[in-house]
Structure formats: structure tokens, C-alpha cells
Structure 1
């Protein structure tokens, strides 16, 4: 079918098409007028999720923005938010609502039934690159729609606060319990450390170890000196008198003084011996003094040699005891360091838990929300639906399509000859001429027009 035939069919069936269009538009207008008016009220919210949190100081990364917005939309549409609206407005205490709930024969409770009913008429709108959310509610009562829209906005703001505060409160409870355990652990470790210090008499292990080590070094030095004296005593026994005396004089002040006095006495005795005879009292007295000093010097040197052996043994014994003491102190210091590390670890864990407890407690007491109400819902002056002009426009388009379809269907059922081409198609014979007698000019123009278009 070419365009000329289609045009001829439209012209022939124009009454049917026009009737279908009129019926469609009339029906649409009638239905629109009979429909109850529906009002729509919108509350505008804005999410201030960008930037640092005023309590924790955390900054949300830009990658979380898309998921964050989708999550917020799901929170608004959740049954918890709707139940909060029901509780805030006390809708379940209305007698009319109670009677409607009984008539509905729903298996849900009244609160859940109301929440589901409110969510059906709730609309959430948001833009892709915007943090603004529009909460709209539709209903037959304009004032009621504004109240419900504002109630959902307030409930969403309260829910956002609770979703932030409740985990922090639970975490604060957990940290409080853990803090008690860590406190007991710290007290136990501190008690063990104190008892160990008291039992071993340790105030400062490092200072005491330094003192005992210094004493050990002093004993080692004394042992070296005593061994040197002992070597001098042994050399005397072997006939090394000069070596023994040299060591004894170097270590004994009395022997040194006796040596000096003996030298002076010998000098005086030598002078007297040159002047006086052996029987002279001065000679005898000087000689007796020299013999006495020599005897005392010899006695002191012998005593010093004997004491060198005993002193070396005593110093060696004291040195061994000091070594044992220093080693024991080293072991005590190592054990003390282990206990101190346990105390430090317990103290560090306790401080960390205390810091986390303070932070979570502060977060749990915060009433700051990332949701702000930009515009509250107003009572609408005009109904949102039905939109008569839009419905009539759509019905005109739909009626035209239905009319054309009805015309084509009627043409298919009752086939008519509309042009010479139809005769050629039906009779398979050529057309010799067309008689236009009796055809008005306007009608003739309508018949010729398809040919010109063709």
C-alpha cells in the first residue's frame, strides 16, 4: 500500500477516525474529572557528608559518595523510618485508621500496616551529581501530605543520628568491659614487679649492677696487687731478699719508715765507730739501736710476706663471691626487665583502650547529623493529579492512532475501490479512461490530489 491509497482510505474513513478520537478524548476527560484529586508535598534535604567529621575528624573519600547516596535513599524508604513517622504522629491511635485496618483484614499489625501504606505513597528524588534529596508524599488531603513529608524528613534526620550514635555506644560498652580486664592485667603485672623488687631488694637494677660491677673491678685490681706481693714473698723464700724487700717497702709504710730510720741509725753508728772504741757506751748504744731496727724491719718484712698469702686468698674468695653476686644480679635484672616489659605492654594496652573509650563515648553523645532540612514541605495549593491538559494531549495522540487503526481495520473488512490502481490490481486489466461527470470540484480536487502527490 502506497501513500496515495493510505490517504484515500483516511479520507474515506475520516468519520470513523474522528469518532474514535472524540470518544477517546471524551472518555479521558470524563475519567480525569471523575478521578479524585491527589496532592503532592515535597521536603528538600541536603547531605553535608563532604569534609571532616566534627567529632572524629575523619574525611570521607570521594569514592564513597555514590554508594553513600544510594544507602541514604534506602534508609529513607526503610520500614524503620516509616515506623518512626507512625510513632511521631501517633497515627496508630486514630480510631478511623483502626477501623480501616480492621476492614483491610491484613495479617500485619497496625503500625506495620500504616508504615507499608505510607511507603507506597512516598517518592524519593535525587540528582546524580547532587547531594540534595527530595522527599515527596502523595495523598488526597493537602495538609496531611505536608505533615507526612516533614515527618519523614525529621525521621530521616533522627535515624541518621542514631545510626552514628548507636554503634559508638555499643563500642563504648565493649571498651568499658575490656578496660576492666586490661586494668586487672596491669594491676597484676605491677604487683608481680613490686613483689619481685621487694623480695630481691632491687630498687634500681641498673644502678645496683653498676655498683657491684665496679666493686668487682676493684677486687680484681686488689687481687692483682696481692698476687704481686705474693710473688715477692715467694721470691724471698727462694733467696731473692732484695725483690721481697722492694715489694714490701713499696706496699708497707711502716717498713719504709723503718728502712729510713735504719739508714739514719747506721749512718750515726758509722760516725761513732770511727771516733770511739767498741767498749764506749755511745758505740754500744748506737750498735744496739741498729740491731733493734734491723730486727724490727726483718720481723715486719716476714709478717708482710705471710699476710700477702692470706690477703691474696681472701681477695680471691671475695672476688669469686662478687662474681656470683654480679651474675645473680644480671639474672635478676633480666627477670626484672621481663616484668617491666609486661607492665609496659599492659600499660600501653590500657592507655590505647582508654583513648578509644573516650573517643567512642564522645561519638556516642554526639547529636550532630550530616542531614539538614533545606526546605520544609508546604501545603500544596493545586492538585498534582489528575493533569487534565496532559491527559487530553496524550488522549488526542492515542485517539488518532486508534482511529487510524480502526479505519484500516474497517477497510480490510469492507474492501472498496478507491482509485484506478485498485481496478488494475483486482481485474488485472488496463484502465482506458476516467469519467469525472457529476463530481463536484472540491471532490474532484480531493481525488486528483493523491495523483499529484504520487
Structure 2
């Protein structure tokens, strides 16, 4: 079909197409004026991505499409719808109860029935490039539509807050029980440590152990010194017990022995003189010999006394060495025991420290959970409040007229073409040429159009001449 044929059909069937268009427009206007009016009220909420004031953590996933889709699902959930029913106390309304009885016969839950009916008339649309979600509700009464939209927003805000605080409250109860157990464990560990300290008499184990270590070091130094002195005493005692006792330092340094030896030397010198002069039988020589023998005995007695003192000193030194060694062994045993006690006390102290850290950690989580459970704000806030709309959203007369004109035009053209197909007419010269397969010689002009008739005959003649075979060829 050419464009000319299309225009020719429209010219021929324009009244039919116009009738269809007018019929569609009239039907649209009639429906727009007779259908009950519906009002749509819209409220909006905004999701805030700021850090949580309790946990000090951000919510990077809040701006993702999945999170916004989750919020839409929460708004459209039965929990929010049933909360709206409870907020508005619609179950207490006798008229609403009668409608429920008529619709369901009293079967099922009235709250669930109302929630389901509300969800059918609610529309939730998230914004594509922001964190704003629009909640719309359609109802015959504009005030009722605005009230339901605001009720859904408020129910959603309360539900989001519950979804945040309910787990925190459960965690708070859990951590409260754990904190009591941790406190009991800490008290038991502290009691055990205190009893151990009282039993062992420990006030400051490290300081006392330092004192005992210092005393042990001092005793060790004393033992080393006494061992040196005792070794010397043993050597001197062995010398005193032998034949060289007269060469001891004490004997050589003794003034009595020195005096006696001096007297002995003088007596021996005088004895030699008297013996040479008077002879050995002289009474003076005999007396002098007796004096010399007595002096030697005195020297021997003084030497034995002095060497006996060396033995006593050796015995004393050995006893002091044995005593210090015994004290050192006792001190070493005491220090080892104190180290063992300190290790046992360290274990108990670590138990106390671990119990304290565990209690502090549980107490911190308990405090955080308690604060989160007492929160009155969530990360979602109301942005705009729904107001009763002044104009109905359905039916929209202007939109319906535009759609009726557009649809009526298309339908009128379609009806005209269907009519043309069922009742085919000759509209153009080309229709005869194509339909019959013979050239057109002339076209009869319409009455009163001579000029146009002559032009049409001339045009037809040119076409016939153009279609006849050329003899020259």
C-alpha cells in the first residue's frame, strides 16, 4: 500500500474513523465522570548512613541497592501492615468488624485481613540515585489516604527500631547472665588468692624474695671467706701439731717466748763461760744448767699453749664454717620454697587477671548492648508527611482524554482499514491498473470540473502512450 492509497482510504472512511474516535472519547469521559474517585497520598523516608552513636561503626552497605530493596520489603511486610492496624485500632471499630465478618465469615484473623487489604492499595517506590523511599496509599477519602500513608511510615520506623533494639535486648540479657558468671569466677579467683596469701604469709612476694636472695648472697660470701680462713687454720693447726710448731708466727711473735728465748740464750752463754772456767762439777754450773732446763720447759709450755690456741681457733673456724654452710643451705631451701610459693601465687594471680579481663570484656559488651537496647532512634527518619491531596489521582480526566484521543485515533484508522478490506472500492487510477492489469484510457471528471477533467484525460493518455510498445523498437 502506497501513501496515496492510505490517504485515499482515510478520505473515504473519515467519518467512520471520526465516529470511532468520538465514541472512545465519550466513553472515556463518561467513565472518568462516573467512576469513584481515588486519592493518593505520599509520604517519604530517608535512610541515614552516618556512624552509629553506640558502636561507632559506619554502614557502608546502606547505600547499596540490596539494602534499599530490603527496606522496601520491610515496608511491604505483614509485620508493618499489622502494626498499622494495631496503631489505628481498627479491630475495635464495629463497622470494620462487620465488613470483615461479611467478607470472611469470621474465619481467620481480622488483623491479617485488614493488613492484606491495606497492602493491596499501598505502593512503595525507592529512589534510584538517593536514599529516599516514597510510600503512597490510594483511598476514596483523601484524609484516610494521608492517614494510612503516615501510619505506614510510622509503623515502618517503629519496626526498624524494633529490629535494631530487639537483638540488642536479647544480647543484653545474654551478656547480663555471662557477666554474673564472670563476676562469680572473678570473686572465686580472688578469694582463692587471698586465702593462699594468708596461708603462706605473703604480702609482697617479689620484695620479700629479693630480701631473701640478698641474704643468701651474703651468706654465700661469708661461707667463701670462712672457707678460706678455715683452710688457713687447718694448715696452721697441722704445722702446730708437727715438729715445726716453734716456727709458727704466733710463737715467733709471742713476747713471753721471745723473753724466755733471750734468757735461755744468756744462760747458755753464761754456762759456756762458767763451764770453761770452773768446770762442769761446779755448783754454779750445775745450777745454771738447771735454770736452762727450766727455761726450755717454760718455752715448750708457752709454745704448747700458743699452738693450743691455734687448734682452738681452727676448731672455731670450722664450726663457724659449718654453721654458715648450714644457714646457707637453709636459706637456699627457703628461697626455693619461696620461689615455688611465688609461682603458685603467680598462677593464682594470672587466674585473677584473666577473670578480671573476661569480666571487663563481658561488662563492656553488656553496657554497649544495654545502650543499643535503649535506643530511641534508628538510621531511618521520616522526610515528608503525607497531606490530604486536593485532586484525585484516579480517574485523571486530562490523562484519560489524551489516551482516548490517541487510542481512538488508532482504533478509528484500524476500523476504517478493516471496513475497506471487507468492502473494497476503487479509490485511485492505480487501483484499476493493478487490479485489472490493463491501462486506463481516461477518467471521467466530476460534474462541474472541466479543467480537471481535461487534465485527467491528458494524463491518462500519456500513461497509455507510455505503456504501448514502441514501433521503432
> TM over 0.5, yes or no?
yes
Residue aligning to 1:172? 172
Structure 2 counterparts to residues 374-453 of structure 1, below 5 A: 374-438=383-447
Cα distance, 1:354 vs structure 2: 0.9
Distance 1:172 1:442 in 2: 103
Cα distance, 1:62 vs structure 2: 6.3
Residue aligning to 1:20? 20
Cα distance, 1:176 vs structure 2: 0.3
- 1:349-402 CA distance string (max 9 Å, x none): 101111111122122122123333333222222212111111011011111111
Distance 2:451 2:59 in 1: 76
**Residue 239 of structure 1: SS of its match in structure 2?**
helix
Distance 2:352 2:207 in 1: 20
Partners of 1:262 and 1:290 within 8 A in 2: no
- Match status 1:373 vs 2:382: yes
Residue aligning to 1:117? 117
Residue aligning to 1:315? 324
Partners of 2:82 and 2:115 within 8 A in 1: yes
What residue ranges of structure 1 are gaps of 5+ in the alignment?
250-258, 280-285
Cα distance, 1:17 vs structure 2: 1.0
Residue aligning to 1:255? none
Which is worse superposed, 156-165 or 368-377? 368-377
Q: Judging changes above 3 Å, is the alpha-carbon distance between structure 1 residues 192 and 326 closer, same or farther for their aligned structure 2 residues? A: same
Partners of 1:168 and 1:364 within 8 A in 2: yes
- Match status 1:359 vs 2:368: yes
Distance 1:214 1:442 in 2: 145
- Match status 1:150 vs 2:159: no
Partners of 2:62 and 2:68 within 8 A in 1: no
Residue aligning to 2:38? 38
TM-score normalised to the size of structure 1? Answer: 0.83
Cα distance, 1:271 vs structure 2: 8.9
- 1:247-280 CA distance string (max 9 Å, x none): x99xxxxxxxxx699755567778999999999x
- 1:156-205 CA distance string (max 9 Å, x none): 22223222222211111111010011112212222232233333333322
Distance 1:211 1:268 in 2: 53
RMSD, aligned α-carbons: 3.6
Distance 1:50 1:442 in 2: 82
Distance 2:194 2:426 in 1: 120
Q: Judging changes above 3 Å, is the alpha-carbon distance between structure 1 residues 157 and 98 closer, same or farther for their aligned structure 2 residues? A: same
Equivalent residue pairs, number: 431
Distance 1:397 1:26 in 2: 13
**Residue 43 of structure 2: SS of its match in structure 1?**
strand
Structure 2 counterparts to residues 170-249 of structure 1, below 5 A: 170-239=170-239
**Residue 134 of structure 1: SS of its match in structure 2?**
strand
Cα distance, 1:299 vs structure 2: 3.1
Distance 2:353 2:237 in 1: 63
Which is worse superposed, 228-237 or 139-148? 228-237
Distance 1:62 1:109 in 2: 37
Residue aligning to 2:76? 77
Which is worse superposed, 203-212 or 355-364? 203-212
Which is worse superposed, 63-72 or 110-119? 63-72
- 1:54-73 CA distance string (max 9 Å, x none): 33333322664544333222
Q: Judging changes above 3 Å, is the alpha-carbon distance between structure 1 residues 42 and 215 closer, same or farther for their aligned structure 2 residues? A: same
Which is worse superposed, 175-184 or 98-107? 98-107
- 1:386-435 CA distance string (max 9 Å, x none): 11111011011111111111111112222222222111222111222222
Cα distance, 1:288 vs structure 2: 11
